[in-house]
Amino acid sequence: MANRTLHGEDMLTADGRAEWQSRDAKASALAASPYKKDFPLLATKPDLAFLDSAATAQRPAAVLDAQRSFYEEMNANALRGLYDLSVQATEAIDNARAHVARFIGLDGKKDACDIVFCRNTSEALNLLAYSYGSLVLKPGDEVCITIMEHHSNLIPWQQACRAAGAELVYMYPDDQGVISEDEMRAKIGPKTKIVSAAHVSNVLGVANDVKLMGKIAHEFGAAMIVDGAQSVPHFPVDVNDLGCDFFAFSGHKIFGPMGVGVLWGRHELLEAMPPFLTGGEMIDAVTEQTAVWAPVPEKFEAGTQDAAGIYGLDAALSYVESVGYPAMEAREKALVAQCMRRLAELDFVRIIGPADPAAHHGVISFNVCTVHPHDVASILDMDNVAIRAGHHCAQPLLDFLGIDSCCRASFAFYNDSADIDRLIDGLNHVWSMFHGQ
Amino acid sequence: MANDAIYTAALMEHNAHPDYKYDMDDFTHEHEGVNPSCGDEMTLKLRLSDDGSTIEEAAFVGSGCAVSQASADIMAELITGETVEEAKRLSGLFVRMIQGDELSPDEVEDLDEAYQLQSISRMPARVKCAELAWRTLDNIL
């Protein structure tokens, strides 16, 4: 079992502070975000410090406009209609599929058929646990995940393991949130059939070395699944470079609509898998007693899809490309470094997670000494600061860290140093309310 | 904003100095209440009279947010010395209030300081914090 000093001040090393100060120099251009005007909610609430993008991001006008234009200009049920509107709707989905493929490093023509649209990362991971899980898991097999999984990459595997008589095995991080190669090799072995890991932790913000995990998984013939919900909003992903077999992410965390998500899988695996949901649009032929499945991806897309959402996701990816990952990453890293330095100046705040701000990927979890996170969040709300507080759908991780709950401020590139000022002022307000003036 | 009305001076005082937060030795009844989503947990202990009709002493231990702690302290103060029937009635009033029902002026008076938590009824995420002690009491009575 790894130690538990992830939670505590002892991690705020001198090296860490020096690192922050050097990075803080880069933060001087963060005073006012040039991007907030692209986001109607942020533009109309200039006093709001929205620091909960890891829960759901805001959407730019381009995405909202795209969804509206889908319904205004091309609304018809895709795939089946034999008239122009339906053809347009079908093309909109096909174009989005190709765009998603290119976005994660694939060929927009050849590989688009391996992009499955679903509601969100949770649904994608449930699809894998039920479909791929039922295909490969036998009694005595093992599924290996990390202790830092969101419940959406944890409970589906609990269920799949229970159904198959398999065992769920956990990899644990060290005191900087790193899962070492030794830990991977101690947990991934001949019994392992599936390794599934968060690309980025929604609590610690750390990026797991899923490339190495996948390499080790493949040494034992296991499949590598990457939960990309918290990675694609922050840095570019190339699934071939990662070497994984499946990759899932949610539209709503990458500035797209709620209710549309993506599952990518290696073609031969998707081909071999049984469908998850059955019904309309996922069949080739049906008789009274049998059905022949449609090819992938339709095999996994039963029922009418959220076509406007998919069209909106297409627009969200275009927006991300127009801003560019290098600009997004530079702003986020500078914002996180500045915020961690300012939080470290508050002696009543304990930062949870690695000391190096560069390891945080938009997420800073923390606690205010003696004040319950729900009170912290409620009082910050009085000051127009929106953060998340609670167990962050990661109860086993919080148990591992030895805490019941925590606060989380999470950043996107549209935040600015005024948001950080509001957070710090708000935390001083929290402290003065509970501990006098 | 709505939150301003939650953290009243009375609530902060009950949270900082809960008179009824201690581990009672000679209790006759106890029950543990939990809010799984918050991690709040509370053990409520009561000492009833020999004939079981009156709450002679009420106290709680546990951990949680200021709302749950203050609500428990206010409740323990309110029900101490009351009959079991009256405590049940007050608990019913509190739950009605926190679920957003309008109370009559007499009912407001009966809840006394507990009525100060009324504004929490507009904060869905915090209702269960305020209710924890009262639901735990319901489970005992």
Residues of chain A contacting B7 with CB distance shorter than 8 Å = 375, 378-379, 382, 433
Nearest by Cα to A225 from A154, A316, A119, A277: A154
Residue A37 has pLDDT above 90, yes or no: yes
Please name the residues in contact with A4: beta carbons below 8 A apart, sequence gap of 6 or more. Answer: A175, A400, A401, A402
Select from B7, B63, B64 the Cβ nearest to the Cβ of A433: B7
pLDDT of residue A9: 39
DSSP for A347-392, written as a single string: TTEEEES-S-GGGSTTEEEEEETTB-HHHHHHHHHHTTEE-EEE-T
**pLDDT tens digits, residue range A113-169?**
999 999 999 999 999 999 999 999 999 999 999 999 999 999 999 999 999 999 999
> Which residue type is seen at A405?
S
A&B contacts, CB < 8 Å: 44
B115 touches chain A (CB under 8 A): no
Q: Which residues of A touch B37 (CB under 8 A)?
A: 390-391
Q: pLDDT tens digit string along B14-41? A: 999 999 999 999 999 999 999 877 778 8
**Number of domains making up chain B:** 1
In CATH, what number is assigned to the domain containing residue B94?
3.90.1010.10
pLDDT of residue A437: 53
The shortest C-alpha distance from B43 to chain A (Å) reads 17
In this prediction, residue B40 carries a pLDDT of: 82
pLDDT in tens, B80-103: 999 999 999 999 999 999 999 999
In chain B, which residues have their Cβ closer than 8 Å to the Cβ of A391? 37, 39
* Closest to A316 (Cα-Cα) out of A397, A402, A249, A391: A249
Q: Quick one: CA torsion of A406, A407, A409, A410, rounded to 10 degrees?
A: 40
* pLDDT for residue B4: 63
Spell out which chain A residues touch chain B, with contact meaning CB-CB distance below 8 angstroms. Answer: 371-375, 378-379, 381-382, 390-391, 404-405, 433-434
CA distances to A33, A256, A321, B19 from A39, rounded to whole Å, are 11, 12, 16, 49
A54/chain B closest Cα distance in angstroms = 19
Does A21 score more than 70 pLDDT? no
Interface contact A374-B3, CB threshold 8 A: no
Q: Is the pLDDT of residue B108 over 90?
A: yes
Radius of gyration (C-alpha) of chain A in whole angstroms:
22
| Residue range A58-85, pLDDT digits in tens | 999 999 999 999 999 998 888 767 888 8
Q: B28 lies in which domain range?
A: 2-140
Q: What is the reported pLDDT for A28?
A: 52
- Report the residue of chain A nearest B4, measured CA to CA: A382
Output the CA torsion B94→A387→A400→A332 (10° steps).
170
Distance from CA of A135 to the nearest CA of B (A): 34
3-class secondary structure, A77: coil
Residue to test with chain B: of A375, A379, A383, A385, most B Cβ within 10 A: A375
Chain A positions in Cβ-Cβ contact with residue B4 (cut-off 8 Å) = 382
B81 part of contact set with chain A, CB < 8 Å: no
Q: Which residue has the higher pLDDT, A88 or A229?
A: A229
Task: For residue A144, give the 3-state DSSP assignment.
Answer: strand
- CATH topology for A63-321 is Aspartate Aminotransferase; domain 2 (3.40.640)
Residue in chain A lying closest to B128 (CA): A374
Contacts of B66 in chain A (CB under 8 A): 371-372, 375, 434
Q: Residue B65 is nearest to which of A374, A381, A391, comparing CB atoms?
A: A374
pLDDT given at position B9: 87
Q: Mutation target for A interface from B38, B117, B128: give the one with most A CBs within 10 A.
A: B38
Residue B124 scores a pLDDT above 50? yes
B34 in contact with chain A, both atoms CB, cutoff 8 A = no
What pLDDT, on the 0 to 100 scale, is given for residue A15?
46
With DSSP H G I counted as helix, E B as strand and the rest as coil, what are the percentages for chain B, rounded to 5?
55, 20, 25
8 Å CB contact between A349 and A367? yes
Verify whether residue A144 is a known catalytic residue.
no
Homologous superfamily assigned to A9-30+325-434: Aspartate Aminotransferase, domain 1 (3.90.1150.10)
With CB atoms and an 8 Å threshold, state whether A375 touches B1: no
Question: The whole model's pTM is what?
Answer: 0.91
Domain-by-domain residue ranges, chain A?
A: 9-30+325-434, 63-321
